[in-house]
Amino acid sequence: MSKTVLLNNVEHKDLKVDSSHRAEYGDNVNRILAFSTEFGDLQKEYPILFYKDPKTEAFQAHAILGLAKDENLFLGDDGWTGNYVPAVLGRGPFLIGFQDREVDGKAVKEPVIHIDMDSPRVGTDSGQPLFLAYGGDTPYLEKIMQTLQVIHQGADLDKRFFSTLDAMELFEPVNIEISLSSIANVNLPDYYTINKDKLAQLDGESLEKLNRMGVLSLAYFALVSLGNFNKLIELKNQSSAIV
């Protein structure tokens, strides 16, 4: 269960949040929802694959963090070992909510920050403070706001970006099979990637459309990220050797 409330610097002036990453906080996952707005950071460390929801038939992106169930190869005894934490994990107990606001006589939905008060990360004794002594935001909370923006803007862009790739028939099924040194083969079925040849052969109009949307480079980021499977294999072999 969760108890989400609107964050404010009066009621929550003394709140602190444990910003570390641990298995008990649910960080031990082998894949996580990813947003195109973070592809530039993700592609440096994690493979990016696409998944087609069988109910909605809409595509979404996943960052692959491990090669077995409940395995995050970037989660060590001292926390996160990678340089970039995917936004869904980096946001901690914070969520984006919406409240009505009147602008020029029209009601609009304004994004606001909510916090899950039932999260084990949240308390008053230790952790990162959220507000300064006189009510301003701490650097930690400002970073959380940036992370939530990545999610909020990414959710909107993903719908247009992925539906456009699908309409251009650029998605192709891919079955990832990996042979490791000490255990049986690993399979990651039911995933898609972008067809590199079709992307390279797009006509000028299609390329211009992707470029106007600002997503052409993001498609290439997803393709380049597949090289990070070599990093996952290396990390997996290292962890298996230690065990």
Domain containing 142: what range?
A: 22-90+137-242
Residue 173 in any domain: the answer is yes
Residue 104 in any domain: the answer is no
Residues belonging to the chain: 243
Q: Count the domains in the chain.
A: 1
Mean pLDDT of the chain, nearest integer: 91
Decide if pLDDT at 242 tops 60: no
Partners of 80 in beta bridges: 75
Pairing mode, strands 106-116 and 94-103:
antiparallel
Residue 230 in any domain: the answer is yes
Residue 111 in any domain: the answer is no
Residue 131 in any domain: the answer is no
- Could you read off the pLDDT of 87-107 as tens digits, one per residue? 999 999 999 988 877 777 777
Q: What is the pLDDT of residue 181?
A: 60
- Which among 126, 85, 111, 81 is positioned nearest to 231, based on CA atoms? 81
When mean pLDDT is compared over 153-157, 230-234, 237-241, the highest value belongs to 153-157
Q: Rounded to two decimals, what is the model's pTM?
A: 0.91
Residue 123 in any domain: the answer is no
Residue 37 in any domain: the answer is yes
Residue 203 in any domain: the answer is yes
- Could you read off the pLDDT of 186-228 as tens digits, one per residue? 677 889 999 999 999 999 999 999 999 999 999 999 999 999 9
- Which among 67, 21, 27, 63 is positioned nearest to 45, based on CA atoms? 63
Across the range 110-119, mean pLDDT stands at: 92
